[in-house]
Amino acid sequence: MYEGAVQDLIDELGRLPGVGPKSAQRIAFHLLSAESADVTRLVAALTRVQESVRFCVTCYNVAEAEQCRICRDPRRVDDVLCVVEEPKDVVAIERTREFRGRYHVLGGAISPIDGVGPDDLRVKELMTRLMNGAVTELIIATDPNLEGEATAAYLARLVGPMGLAVSRLASGLPVGGDLEYADEVTLGRAFEGRRRIDA
């Protein structure tokens, strides 16, 4: 189609989620005609992400230090823990300003079809965190779809014997949807109206 470098760029862009061949081509040609300083900034941002971003050793959110910004914040409360699937869900919940506790990022959801079981997620790490007894309330904020519900039910059963207050985000969230696409008001309300799960 195109020669060497241009086609390589289109191929790489096309591998990104949500970028089809047409978009890949459009982005590639945008970059070709962009100011050289803009392209340099983009390259630098990619390099920095690759070199300096890692997962928080405590909650598995993305972090630039050993611990993420939220785990390092002494103003957050330690007795409420919110379990989410991905770091992007942390960002979505932070936007609501409803939550002052800590997070635990599972790294996905249980999905038998995709071959993802509890052992593929950071469930063991969650149990270890709960063992020390500091957490008294667990909020399960997995996505309101099949996999998210299955994960919530599994976790509720698992932590049942620990005597924690366990809640799930209230309805109002679009069923079958993704937490990150919910607007702040809806997600904030779902948070306030979370309901207790009796395991």
Binding-site ranges for Zn ion (CB under 5 A) = 56, 58-59, 61, 68, 71
CB of 191 to Zn ion, least distance (A): 19
Minimum CB–partner distance for residue 99 and Zn ion (Å): 14
Rounded CA gap, 15 and 199, in Å? 42
Q: Which is nearer to Zn ion, 46 or 57 (CB)?
A: 57
Smaller CB separation from Zn ion, 38 or 73: 73
Which CB sits closer to Zn ion, 59 or 123? 59
Nearest approach, Cβ of residue 68 and Zn ion (Å) = 3
By beta-carbon proximity to Zn ion, the closer residue of 103 and 154 is 103
CB of 71 vs Zn ion, minimal distance in Å = 3
Give me the DSSP letters along the chain. ---HHHHHHHHHHHTSTT--HHHHHHHHHHHHHS-HHHHHHHHHHHHHHHHH-EE-TTT--EESSSS-HHHH-TTS-SSEEEEESSHHHHHHHHHHT---SEEEE-SS--BGGGTB-GGGTTHHHHHHHHHTS---EEEE---SSHHHHHHHHHHHHHHGGGT-EEEE--S-SPTT--GGGS-HHHHHHHHHT-EE---
Tell me whether residue 58 or residue 145 sits nearer to Zn ion (CB atom).
Answer: 58
Of residues 83, 93, 92, 95, the one with CA closest to residue 59: 83
The minimum distance between CB 54 and Zn ion, in angstroms, equals 11
Judged by beta carbon, residue 41 or residue 54, the one nearer Zn ion is: 54
CA dihedral of 15, 21, 22, 25, whole degrees rounded to 10: 70
**Cα 150 to the chain's mean position, in Å?**
17
Q: How far is the CB of 105 from Zn ion (least distance, A)?
A: 8
